[in-house]
């Protein structure tokens, strides 16, 4: 790779284990404790699988608990410093709903297993 040629794309891919976990999820998680248990278990699994740091996130529809997206920290596996769990999860949610504005309509909730860093807090705003 030439250092003078600019990169033309960047991205991340969800690990196979997370794809399998997502496929097995219920359509809705109405209970806040159940949501937190999910993100905590995904964060622990991310460490065990060696695919990233101990962070996970979930976006649900605020009124129904419908699962919109799930993500984990992919900084190590993607080699992208922006691939924090919150950013990954928000990007997947935006892709799924077809809008950058996740607060439109009935609204959505982001559930995380840790306090967001400055970058992730900025992404939330």
What average pLDDT does the segment 17-46 reach? Answer: 97
pTM of the model: 0.91
| Percent of the chain topping pLDDT 90 | 82
Identify whether the C-beta of residue 57 lies closer than 8 Å to the C-beta of residue 108.
no
What average pLDDT does the segment 109-118 reach? Answer: 94
Q: 27-124: which CATH number, 3.40.920.10, 3.40.190.10, 3.40.140.10, 3.30.450.20? A: 3.40.140.10
Q: Indicate whether 36 pLDDT > 80.
A: yes
Residue 3 — pLDDT band, cuts 50, 70, 90? Answer: low
Q: Is 115 helix (H, G, I), strand (E, B) or coil?
A: coil
DSSP code, position 121: H
Q: Indicate whether 2 pLDDT > 60.
A: no
79-90 pLDDT, tens per residue? 999 999 999 999
**43: number of Cβ within 10 Å:** 22
Q: Indicate whether 6 pLDDT > 90.
A: no
Q: From CA 45, how far away is CA 54, in angstroms rounded?
A: 8
What average pLDDT does the segment 1-30 reach? Answer: 87
- Mean pLDDT rounded to a whole number for the chain: 92
In degrees rounded to 5, what are phi and psi of residue 97?
A: -85, -10
């Amino acid at each position: 790779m030439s250092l003078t040629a600019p990169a033309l794309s960047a991205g991340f891919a969800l690990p196979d284990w997370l794809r399998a976990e997502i496929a097995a999820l219920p359509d809705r998680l109405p209970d806040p404790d159940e949501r937190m248990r999910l993100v905590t278990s995904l964060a622990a699994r991310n460490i065990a699988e060696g695919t990233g740091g101990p962070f996970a996130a979930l976006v649900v529809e605020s009124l129904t608990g419908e699962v919109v997206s799930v993500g984990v920290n992919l900084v190590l596996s993607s080699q992208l410093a922006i691939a924090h769990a919150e950013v990954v999860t928000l990007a997947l949610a935006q892709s799924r709903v077809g809008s950058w504005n996740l607060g439109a309509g009935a609204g959505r909730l982001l559930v995380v297993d840790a306090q967001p860093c400055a970058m992730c807090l900025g992404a939330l705003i």
